[in-house]
Chain A
Amino acid sequence: MSTAAAQVHEEEDHGHHHKETFITKYIFSQDHKMISKQYLITGLFMGIIGIAMSLLFRLQLAWPEQPMGIMQVLLGKWAPDGVMDPNVYLALVTIHGTIMVFFVLTAGLSGTFSNLLIPLQIGARDMASGLLNMISYWLFFLSSIIMLASLFVEAGPAAAGWTIYPPLSALPQAQPGSGLGMTLWLVSMAIFIASSLLGSLNYIVTVLNLRTKGMTMSRLPLTIWAFFITAVIGVVSFPVLLSAALLLIMDRSFGTSFFLSDIFIQGEVLHYQGGSPVLYEHLFWFLGHPEVYIVLLPALGITSEIIATNSRKPIFGYRAMVASILAIAFLSTIVWGHHMFISGMNPFLGSVFTFTTLLIAIPSAVKAFNYITTLWKGNLQLNPAMLFSIGLVSTFISGGLTGIILGDSTLDINVHDTYFVVAHFHLVMGISALYGLFAGVYHWFPKMFKRMMNKNLGYVHFWVTAICAYGVFFPMHFIGMAGLPRRYYTNTAFPYFDDLANINVVITVFALIAGAAQLVFLYNFIHSIFYGKPTEQNPWRSNTLEWTAPIEHIHGNWEGKIPEVHRWAYDYSKPGHEEDFVPQHIPLKEGEEELQH
């Protein structure tokens, strides 16, 4: 099927391009390469806001309730006398989580690299539907605008945590952020989900139907496998979040009782009867947990590609890597209950979810060991992208291991919702996925912008970030193990936690330095777009098809015929070849055997 489709596609003559205006080329573009740049730049912009918010609340945590000029400047009346208001603290935590998880690490990461790489690496002229792709980006843009607009609402943005559990999120009486701010949050997320679904459907159809001749599924680069499976998880789980959001909107605005029952608030008994917040938790985490892998799998896919290329070695255990992606994807949809061990659901369910959750450690371990073995006896080219990929494996291990504690219903009892959890998921998912994003940007920047990023700035960026990431999140485990709950405006209400104050200062200082290091990246990124050194055709000497496409972007990706694929993507340092890489479009030599993978 794939080859037939590719042939039909090839027969279309791409020589005569439509005349493109500024608007169709740069704004309402249907070209996947332009859309990918739009995703990246929007994602980075949201990332700046998300990270800046975290620095603000880190300041509050390190020096609680001390007047700070910066608070007054940035928060205005929400920080009277330079002291952040508790409601604003919760709002910042909420919006930081929402922006980072959805807008940066889902749309910014998946949106950018799925769009850029799927057509280029499978050998397609473009996505299956350029129009849907364009709509997908603009819906994402719209949802970003609405999310940002919610920051300017009189009573403040949503503040119920990024999980927005009702009744807190459902009742404007419960906190100021649950008024208009929450309405905007829900509308923004509903649009975001529509955008994500359009994108995912497009990715799935493109990978299944538009692969070039010879590009069998077993020759797909691991990036594509990761993006493909990520899209499948998204299609399976995002609609459930949409339903949760819609039901919550109904409870909020139309008086239904899906999630609410027996509530007395502000001196008044409300009319809600028979609903349950636990139902919401089920619906939310049915997306919420797969979401972790929607964020992480693309980063792992990017890493697989970069580690193999820069090790000048085949990725170790290609089949096992694909199998582990599939296993993780499958398991990720049946583990959501581990977020709810102490929600009041039946303890027997807790047992089942403990079992499925800990099973995920197995494919994860396989992946980690395979990465390590890929490095073994390699000829490692330590480019910035490679450093970030190795860094990802490191934080994936450090953060993943504590999952053994949190996934165990028994042990979860006492660390649930403490800073231990915060440290765990930031390392395993936040930092790892961010590293994946950075690795991808450094590696494919030449493909996107025709220029190279400065490597020395890249090195500074990596090393400062790597040290600070551990400096922030390693001590944080201790605060959690000491019993301090997350989402506390300050811990000064409990003298018992007074001895944690120093640790909080250490964490904040590392966080601020890490924040400063991102400015180096930002400078490098923007400067290189305009003044970077022009790239060669294949700067990393990589095997995948995107590097055969002309440096100058053209609609349709390749002049003339799309290259045909004759081998897998990982023939690095293959004996019998002069060069240490053999691109996928090079036919097998006489007598050469393709590896049975």
Chain B
Amino acid sequence: MTILLTLTVLALIAIAIWQITKIFQLSQPKKVNTQVADDDDNRWNGQLMFAFLIFIYAITLFSFWKWGDVLLPDASSEHGLEYDNLMWISFAIIFFTQTITQALLHYFAYKYRGEKGKKALFYADNDRLEAIWTIIPVIALAGLILYGLYTWTDIMTVEENDDALVVELYAQQFNWKARYAGEDGVLGDANVRFLQDFDGKNLVGIDATDPNGFDDVVVQELHLPAGREVIFKMRSQDVLHSAYMPHFRAQMNCVPGMITEFAFVPTVTTEEMRQTEDIKAKVNKINAIRRENSLALVAKGEEPLEPYIFDYLLLCNKICGASHYNMQMKIIVETPEEFEKWITNQQTFAEVIQ
């Protein structure tokens, strides 16, 4: 029904546009029909240019007011705070430039709209002006590049310290698995050739001849201890995937045939995150929407939607096939004590294949 209504509205809009243009045509029968803009055209289009400037500002402000709350909350990782800083600095520069340049462009289009008999200024060059607007971006960009590269090097340098937790993220169409290195802190060798060993119980293809692999733990839910560095090793068994953890400002592709890396320190536990004002407001908003949608479902005789509870997400962010849109894994950040308790309750590879 909504669809039908929308389509009707669209059809009406199309007809309206068509009629308006007809009126335009009919309302100017006396004028010479040259199809070249005359003073009238210049005037009203110039005015619309100015109105358009206001429209651009308005849609910017409106979007922030109306949808500002959908943006990701503050980062839940150590490097993420640095990331957010750089992002806001870049945004400040972008909005400043956008506001000024759009104003100049559209204001000039309005102010200098053509009139018969007026002559434009013959003004072809000014080296000094051009030098100025070459140098200003150079300075701004030099700052951004330096800051960006400093942060990039910081984020991407993975130091193998003893304290770090090593986790393998294993991607396949269309789900994720995680493998922990176990007590020895070393992931056993693995390859897709071993996937069929042990009646398919070898979920990520661990090489049973490598002793490092026996204490490895393979799970379907990613648990991370807060405050400890986690080094991720990404693998994929079939096509490209991308491990995207937006709340931690973390992403890396999973490439068949190679192991990629990303490391970060999660700082906020899932429980703490659920208590932040941002997330509380977001969850409330989402649940209000879900309640409303449930009413419609119940009316149709279907199950209502379950209320939503916040959890960190791992999403696939590289097109990988039909169910790409639903390739996800829950991430639970907890205190180191809770984490230790959880991991000791998991089955090791040796136990699984027994």
A in complex with B: yes
Judge if B160 is at the interface, Cβ distance under 8 Å.
no
**Interface size, chain B (Cβ < 8 Å):** 132
The 8 Å CB contact of B101, one of A342, A368, A488, is A368
A377-B137 in contact given A90-B324, A342-B242, A485-B316 (Cβ < 8 Å): no
Question: Which of B102-110, B178-186, B345-353 contacts the other chain?
Answer: B102-110
B312 to chain A, nearest CB (A): 9
Judge if B121 is at the interface, Cβ distance under 8 Å.
yes
Judge if A416 is at the interface, Cβ distance under 8 Å.
yes
Contact call A269/B112, Cβ cutoff below 8 A: no
In angstroms, Cα B64 to Cα A474, docked, is 11
Contact call A366/B290, Cβ cutoff below 8 A: no
B158 to chain A, nearest CB (A): 9
Contact call A500/B36, Cβ cutoff below 8 A: no
| A48-61 to B contact mask, C-beta < 8 Å, 1/0 | 00000000000100
Q: Tell me the chain B residues, 150-205 only, with Cβ under 8 Å from chain A.
A: 151-153, 155-157, 172-173, 191-193, 195-196, 205
Judge if B210 is at the interface, Cβ distance under 8 Å.
no
Judge if B115 is at the interface, Cβ distance under 8 Å.
yes
Judge if B321 is at the interface, Cβ distance under 8 Å.
yes
In angstroms, Cα B145 to Cα A87, docked, is 40
Judge if A328 is at the interface, Cβ distance under 8 Å.
no
In angstroms, Cα B45 to Cα A413, docked, is 42
**Interface size, chain A (Cβ < 8 Å):** 147
Contact call B133/A496, Cβ cutoff below 8 A: no
Contact call B256/A533, Cβ cutoff below 8 A: no
A413-B144 in contact given A342-B251, A459-B45, A495-B286 (Cβ < 8 Å): no
Contact call B108/A372, Cβ cutoff below 8 A: yes
In angstroms, Cα B323 to Cα A87, docked, is 8
Judge if B10 is at the interface, Cβ distance under 8 Å.
yes
In angstroms, Cα B255 to Cα A524, docked, is 50
Judge if B295 is at the interface, Cβ distance under 8 Å.
no
Contact call A276/B10, Cβ cutoff below 8 A: no
In angstroms, Cα B63 to Cα A463, docked, is 21
Judge if A275 is at the interface, Cβ distance under 8 Å.
yes
A572 to chain B, nearest CB (A): 7
Known: A174-B321, A342-B252. 19 other contacts (CB 8 A): A260-B256, A261-B257, A265-B238, A311-B120, A365-B136, A369-B133, A382-B41, A382-B109, A398-B56, A398-B98, A402-B94, A404-B141, A408-B90, A409-B148, A413-B83, A456-B24, A478-B67, A488-B325, A498-B290
Judge if A92 is at the interface, Cβ distance under 8 Å.
no
In angstroms, Cα B3 to Cα A405, docked, is 37
Q: Tell me the chain B residues, 1-42 only, with Cβ under 8 Å from chain A.
A: 2-3, 6-7, 10, 13-14, 17-18, 20-21, 24-25, 33-37, 41-42
Judge if A336 is at the interface, Cβ distance under 8 Å.
no
| B237-273 to A contact mask, C-beta < 8 Å, 1/0 | 1111010101101111101111010000000000000
Contact call B122/A460, Cβ cutoff below 8 A: no
| A240-284 to B contact mask, C-beta < 8 Å, 1/0 | 000000000000000000001111110101000011111000000
Q: Can you list 10 A-B contacts (CB < 8 A)?
A: A87-B322, A263-B238, A264-B195, A269-B196, A380-B46, A387-B45, A393-B105, A474-B60, A520-B17, A574-B122
A439 to chain B, nearest CB (A): 14
In angstroms, Cα B316 to Cα A487, docked, is 11
Contact call B319/A90, Cβ cutoff below 8 A: yes
Collect the chain B residues with CB atoms within 8 Å of residue A381's CB.
36-37, 42, 114
Contact call B113/A276, Cβ cutoff below 8 A: no
Collect the chain A residues with CB atoms within 8 Å of residue B308's CB.
495-496, 498
| B35-69 to A contact mask, C-beta < 8 Å, 1/0 | 11100011001101100100110011001000101
Which residues of B line the A interface, CB within 8 A? 2-3, 6-7, 10, 13-14, 17-18, 20-21, 24-25, 33-37, 41-42, 45-46, 48-49, 52, 55-56, 59-60, 63, 67, 69-72, 83, 86-87, 90-91, 93-94, 97-98, 101-102, 104-106, 108-109, 112-115, 118-126, 129-130, 133-134, 136-138, 141, 144-145, 148-149, 151-153, 155-157, 172-173, 191-193, 195-196, 205, 234, 237-240, 242, 244, 246-247, 249-253, 255-258, 260, 282, 285-286, 289-290, 305, 308, 310-311, 313, 315-326, 328
Interface of B is mostly: helix
Contact call B238/A470, Cβ cutoff below 8 A: no
In angstroms, Cα B299 to Cα A75, docked, is 29
A487-B70 in contact given A260-B257, A276-B257, A347-B153 (Cβ < 8 Å): no
Cβ-closest chain A residue relative to B262: A342
Contact call A470/B246, Cβ cutoff below 8 A: no
Cβ-closest chain B residue relative to A524: B21
Contact call A377/B257, Cβ cutoff below 8 A: no
Contact call A379/B114, Cβ cutoff below 8 A: yes
A66-B3 in contact given A161-B319, A381-B36, A398-B98 (Cβ < 8 Å): yes
Collect the chain B residues with CB atoms within 8 Å of residue A239's CB.
none
Judge if A512 is at the interface, Cβ distance under 8 Å.
yes
The 8 Å CB contact of B3, one of A63, A165, A269, A274, is A63
In angstroms, Cα B21 to Cα A87, docked, is 40
B246 to chain A, nearest CB (A): 3
Collect the chain B residues with CB atoms within 8 Å of residue A453's CB.
35
Contact call A516/B87, Cβ cutoff below 8 A: no
Collect the chain B residues with CB atoms within 8 Å of residue A378's CB.
108, 112, 114, 120-121
Contact call A410/B239, Cβ cutoff below 8 A: no
Cβ-closest chain A residue relative to B237: A264
Contact call A168/B36, Cβ cutoff below 8 A: no
Judge if A22 is at the interface, Cβ distance under 8 Å.
no
The 8 Å CB contact of A485, one of B2, B120, B282, B317, is B317
Collect the chain A residues with CB atoms within 8 Å of residue B249's CB.
413-414
In angstroms, Cα B121 to Cα A347, docked, is 51
